[in-house]
Amino acid sequence: MFIRLFQHRLSTFMHIPRSLINTSSLIEQCWQCQRKLDRNECPSYCPCEKHVLLPVRSEIDYFRLFDLSRSFEIDTKQLTRMFRNTMKFLHPDLFTNKSDIEKKYSQDQSALLNGAYKTLLSPLARAHYLLKLENITIEESPVQLESDFLQYIMEINEQLVDEDNDQKPFPIELAIKMRQEIDDHMKELSNALNTMDLEKAKEILARLQYFNNIDDKLTNLEVKHGII
């Protein structure tokens, strides 16, 4: 069982209390049937009719859009299923004969759903998003990684420059090692997020960005060698 991030206490370094972020209900009236709705329960459309779209509310987090618990570990099959099912009711093509405001709701909701889907589908983007929900971004407070790690990364990058040579075979051992590093770091990231060790999660994410960059170079080499 994975722990829902939201059920944990705030860490001391966070800037704003969690209670101010998103736990309260968002009550709003449906513009069509006038019923009162909790937008956390109805993020996209009113239950009165699936084509009655509601305006986008920025307070609703991406996980709610797909009926998922706020957690790093998600069921990506459910994510994709929910994305497709919900998009069937939001797509702007369905609203070409509707009012301007309904067209706007459709465009806004579709754009939000697309962005949310891409964010939650990618483990790294999902981790960044979870930290952002806790008011933490790597851009605003960069992680200072230790010099040994940076040296290690520099050496691998130098090795990759050497490997980018038509005479040399694909560096399979290096690729296996780097992909193992990524797997190990992903497990650590998952643990850190599940236990709300957010500073640790931020540090692992910073490391993973370096490994991902290396993985991109390895993928380019694989293409060059006709492996993929």
Shortest gap between Cβ of 39 and Zn ion (angstroms)?
Answer: 12
Query: According to CB under 5 A, which residues from 52 to 111 bind Zn ion?
Result: 52
DSSP code at position 24? S
**CB nearer Zn ion, residue 46 or residue 156:** 46
Shortest gap between Cβ of 101 and Zn ion (angstroms)?
Answer: 14
Shortest gap between Cβ of 30 and Zn ion (angstroms)?
Answer: 3
Shortest gap between Cβ of 180 and Zn ion (angstroms)?
Answer: 52
Q: What angle do CA 79, 50, 59 make, to 5 degrees?
A: 60
Q: State how far the alpha carbon of 131 is from the alpha carbons of 7, 99, 144, 160, in Å.
A: 15, 38, 17, 32
**CB nearer Zn ion, residue 34 or residue 97:** 34
Q: Binding marks (x or -) toward Zn ion, 21..50, rule CB under 5 A?
A: ---------x-xx------------x-x--
Q: How far apart are CA 184 and CA 164, in angstroms?
A: 26
Shortest gap between Cβ of 54 and Zn ion (angstroms)?
Answer: 8
In terms of DSSP H, where are the helices of 16-146? 62-65, 76-90, 100-121, 123-133
**CB nearer Zn ion, residue 94 or residue 214:** 94
Count of residues engaged in binding Zn ion, rule: CB under 5 A: 6
First to last CA, the chain: 36
3-state helix, strand, coil in the chain (%, to 5): 55, 5, 40
Shortest gap between Cβ of 110 and Zn ion (angstroms)?
Answer: 19
**CB nearer Zn ion, residue 105 or residue 117:** 105
Q: Hey, what are 130's tokens? A: 């979870």
**CB nearer Zn ion, residue 3 or residue 48:** 48
Which residues, in sequence order, are CB contacts of 74 under 8 Å at separation 6+? 63, 68, 120, 126
3-state class (DSSP) for residue 199: helix
**CB nearer Zn ion, residue 36 or residue 77:** 36
Shortest gap between Cβ of 43 and Zn ion (angstroms)?
Answer: 14
Which residues, in sequence order, are CB contacts of 201 under 8 Å at separation 6+? 127, 130, 131, 189, 192, 193
**CB nearer Zn ion, residue 49 or residue 183:** 49
Q: Site residues (CB under 5 A) for Zn ion?
A: 30, 32-33, 46, 48, 52
